[in-house]
Each structure stands twice: as C-alpha cells, then as structure tokens.
Amino acid sequence: MKKAAASPAPAATVVLAVAALLLSSAVAAVSGQQQPKQTADNNPRLQKAYVALQALKRSITEDPKNLTTNWCGPDVCAYFGVYCTTAPDDPHSQTVAGLDLNHGDLAGTFPEELGLLSDLALLHLNSNRFSGTLPESLPKLRLLHELDVSNNRLTGGFPQHILCLPNVKYVDLRFNNLCGPVPPALFDKPLDAIFLNDNHFDFELPENLGNSPASVVVLANLRLRGCIPPSVARMAGTLNELVVLNAGLRSCIPQEVGWLRELTVLDLSFNELQGMLPESLAGLHKLQQLDVAHNELWGHIPEGVCALPSLRNFTYSYNYFCTEPQRCLDIRRVDDRQNCIAGRPDQRPTDQCLAFLHRPPVHCDEHGCFGPPTHY
C-alpha cells in the first residue's frame, strides 16, 4: 500500500520567513546601534522565552545531534534553531518569532511553558520523536502562523486548541498516532494547507469541507466515512491538490470534483469508490496527475479526461473499466492494468469481469453518495 510522503513545510515558505526575520533584525540593529544587546537579563519578552526554552530543553530526553547544546545562558537569540526579530508592538524590543528544530531526531514531550512564546510565528518541529500531546497553552501563541509537528509520535485526539489560534495558516499533523474524529470547525479556518494523513483519525467528511480556502488538502491513510460532500465545489478557485488515498472512502466520485478548475493533483486511489468516472473531470484543464487505481470503478474512460492538456500521469489500474479511448495511451505515463479492457495486456480474467458486471448496480445520488439499493 503506498504512503503519502512526509515532507517539511514548503522550502520557499521557510526560506522567506527566515529571510524576513533576519532582515528585520538587521534593520533593528542599525537603528539601535547604541543600545546594549538584548538578552533575558534586560528584556522581559526574552526572559519569558528563556523560561519556555529551558523548559523545552528539560523535556527533551534524547538529543542525538546535540541541537540544544548551546541552549545555555540569557542570550536566547543565539540558541540553535531560535530566530529573533523586532517585536510586532514595540520597535525597540527583540522577541522570539521562530523555533525550527526540524529533522532533529529529538525525543521528549512538549511542556506547558511553550505558551510563554507569545510572539512566536513559526513552530517547526517535524521529523522528531516527540510524544504525548500538544500543550494546553498552545492558544496563547496568538501570532502563530505555521505549526508543523509532523512525523513525530503524538497521541490522543485531534488537538482542539489549534482551532483557537487566530492567525494560523499552515497546519501539519501528518505521520503521528492521533486518533478519533476531526472537528468540522477545522475546515472553517482560513488555512493555506491541511495535512492530516497517516494518523488514526476516524470521521465523516463534513458538509462544510468546501468552506476551506486551502490549496492543499491531504487526507491519506485515514479512516473516512461517508462521501465527498457537494460543498467541495466551493474550493474551485483555491484547491490545487486533493489527496484522499487509502482512506476507506466508499461512494461514487461526485460531479462536483470536476469543477475544481485549479486542481493539479487528484489522488483517490486505494478506496472503495464505485460507479463511473464522471465526465465532468474533463473540465480539470490544469490537472497533471490523476490516480483512481485500486477501486471498483467501471464503464468507459471519458475521452475528455485523456484529452486534458496538462495531464502527464493517469493511473486507473485495478478497477473494472471496459473501454478506453486510444488517446489515453498517448499520455506520458498511463497505467490501465487489471481492468476489463479487451485487447489490452495484463487485464482481469474474463470470469472475474463478468461476475462484477452481474452484481446489482450501485445507486448514487446526484452528489455521488450511495443512495438506497435498487430492487428488482
């Protein structure tokens, strides 16, 4: 079974954020040349940051790369992974605005004192071995813009206090051991990206899914129920990538998916999708990658889908499609194996195809959700 790849926050985002922090620090240095260096000894904000960072250091049980070795003394702005800049409400005061310990292989837990970092904009702690839960003090980080705690060992339910962060735009919780439902209110947040994949979340896609302005939504390797709600059409102007692979999705593919005109990646593979591939997908003119493999789709492949101008990778193997237009085979990367397409190599046995086609037909409503069974 394929897995959604782990990755840190987009490199461009991190580079631009750090550059902004360093630039503002340089400007502050020029304008305050006669001022003494600000440390925890003479700056109350840095004093609070000192308390928070020392608490985090004590909570770290393993630091194989010695990332926190220089976390000593009052000069917290010199600590590895700590980025300072001018305070947003005081041009004469320095504050901690970023903490980046990505890929540190650190083991430990998150102390409540992290809430003292009240000016923090970036919290990047992915690819470590932090366990337990996010601190209850998290809502005190009211300026937090990016939260990345992916690829750790966090447990418990969805951290509801994320919903209390007024300025957060990027949330990455993937590759942890979080479980239970995901609150529908998450999709009302003005997030640029939502990564929930590779956890043990178990929930039904909410009706307000389409309220999200996110450009990337990854819900892979979860336990989803229900169907893709018709509100997804409201994401037409913003959504670039929708990945819902191996998520237990059991429905037809709704016509509304074909209205997501900005979509470049659509991966619905390894689910229990049934019915036919909707003709509306021919409207996804920016689509580059389409994967619907390992489902129970049948019928014909719409010619308009294979004619999409940007499509470079089309995978529809391990379904029950009967026909495909010749132009599908002209796509750079196409995989039509294990279907029921006459004359193509590596297809399902004839008796398997006949048995599938003689099953009672699945009835889906106009939005792709399973309706009541048809009786004869």
Domain ranges across the chain = 39-180, 197-375
Asked if 39-180 and 197-375 have one fold, the answer is yes
For residue 26, with 0-12 CB atoms within 10 Å meaning exposed, 13-18 middle and 19 or more buried, which class applies?
A: exposed
Architecture field, domain 197-375: Alpha-Beta Horseshoe (3.80)
Nearest residue to 313 (alpha-carbon basis) of 288, 338, 293, 276: 288
Give dist(CA 230, CA 295) in Å, integer: 21
What count of other Cβ atoms lies within 10 Å of the Cβ of residue 84?
Answer: 26
pLDDT value for 8: 47
The strand ranges marked E within 82-238 are 82-87, 90-100, 107-108, 122-124, 129-132, 146-148, 153-154, 170-172, 179-180, 193-195, 200-204, 216-218, 223-225
Handedness of CA 170, 172, 173, 174 (dihedral sign): positive
Tokens of 107: 């083991």
Quick one: which H or E segment has residue 140?
Answer: none
Q: What band does 190 get if pLDDT is binned at 50, 70 and 90?
A: very high
Specify the pTM: 0.87
Model confidence pLDDT, tens digit, residues 224-277: 988 899 999 999 999 999 999 999 998 999 999 999 999 999 999 999 999 999
Sheet holding 274-275, edge to edge: 274-275, 296-300, 320-323
Instruction: Name the strand (E) or helix (H) holding 274.
Output: strand 274-275
Mean pLDDT score of the chain: 91
pLDDT score, position 212: 97
* Cβ(125)–Cβ(173) below 8 Å: no
pLDDT, tens only, 108-157:
999 999 999 999 999 999 999 999 999 999 999 999 999 999 999 999 99
Q: Tell me the CATH number for domain 39-180.
A: 3.80.10.10
